[in-house]
Amino acid sequence: MTDYTTLLVERHDAVTLVRLNRPQALNALNSQVLAELIDAFAAYDADDSQRCLVLTGSEKAFAAGADIKEMQAHGFADMYGSNFFAGWERVTDTRKPWIAAVSGFALGGGCEVAMMADYIIAGDNARFGQPEIKLGVTPGMGGSQRLAAAVGKAKAMEMCLTGRMMNAEEAEKAGLVARVVPASSLVEEALKAAAEIAAMPPLAALAAKEMVNAAFELPLAQGIRFERRLFHGLFGTEDQKEGMAAFVEKRPGKWTGK
């Protein structure tokens, strides 16, 4: 699939830029958006010429949540029977690095998708929230777990129980976002960050992503062992030989991804 109706995809050298594009619904995430994102992320992961991806929305909204109008009429049997939202695991299965560039509202599923990214760069107008409680439900795309891991119990509880939004400044202080930049230069800054990652040795980038994610899945001793094994494994790559030779010879490394 390349002709998307809810996404705009551009290539910037080794960086793929994906824009959510349902302005009439503030980029609400319906089944079509999910299907197209799964396709776009799989294409990115499979393309050796692409080394980093940026997912962004519009200036007003990264995404205002899962599509309430699509979910409204569903019952338990539909939701449980279809394992509704399980498809997002195809997005989080992406092995290569990706960044969420968030401007405006990142609410409910919007906040949850941003938190699926390897990290978030926020525009200074960004607003994060998990307001599902006001709809009689809760986060369902990982928000309670990822928000608690990112900002701790107190703020995660407060946001999930009251629906309070967090602005960009608070989100940076709390550790939800890596960096805040002026909203007007958000995409440019995110593309710059992505280009920097894209210029790194690709196998080391895959390993770094995998080991940091392990910190959220494994007990410490297992995580440290996992890290060490991946580190050992990188000594079997051409890029380790090249990277260390380049350091000693005081020149930039040239990576083969082997």
Is residue 86 part of the annotated active site? The answer reads no
Q: What are the structure tokens assigned to 34, written together?
A: 């999910």
Is residue 109 part of the annotated active site? The answer reads yes
Residue 162 CB, shortest distance to ligand CAA, in Å, is 13
Task: Classify residue 69 by burial, with Cβ atoms within 10 Å: 0-12, 13-18, 19+.
Answer: exposed
Residue 40 CB, shortest distance to ligand CAA, in Å, is 19
- Give bridge partners of residue 54 from the DSSP assignment: 17, 99
Instruction: Give yes or no for residue 68 binding ligand CAA (CB under 6 A).
Output: yes
- Give bridge partners of residue 19 from the DSSP assignment: 8, 56
**Gap between the Cα atoms of 209 and 245, Å rounded:** 24
Q: Which of 65, 104, 108, 109 is catalytic?
A: 109
**Gap between the Cα atoms of 182 and 85, Å rounded:** 32
Q: Which of 132, 172, 189, 227 is catalytic?
A: 132
Per-residue contact track with ligand CAA, 126 to 145, x per CB under 6 A? Answer: -----xx--x---xxx-x--
Binder among 7, 50, 112, 202 for ligand CAA (CB under 6 A): 112
Instruction: Give yes or no for residue 65 binding ligand CAA (CB under 6 A).
Output: yes
Is residue 140 part of the annotated active site? The answer reads no
DSSP SS3 for 113: helix
CB-nearer residue toward ligand CAA: 14 or 135: 135
Q: Is the Cβ–Cβ distance between 52 and 197 less than 8 Å?
A: yes
Is residue 36 part of the annotated active site? The answer reads no
**Gap between the Cα atoms of 130 and 143, Å rounded:** 7
Which residues lie below 8 Å from residue 80, measured CB to CB, with a gap of 6+? none
Residue 247 CB, shortest distance to ligand CAA, in Å, is 45
CB-nearer residue toward ligand CAA: 97 or 109: 109
- Residues of this chain that bind ligand CAA (CB under 6 A): 25-26, 28, 64-69, 105, 107-109, 112, 131-132, 135, 139-141, 143
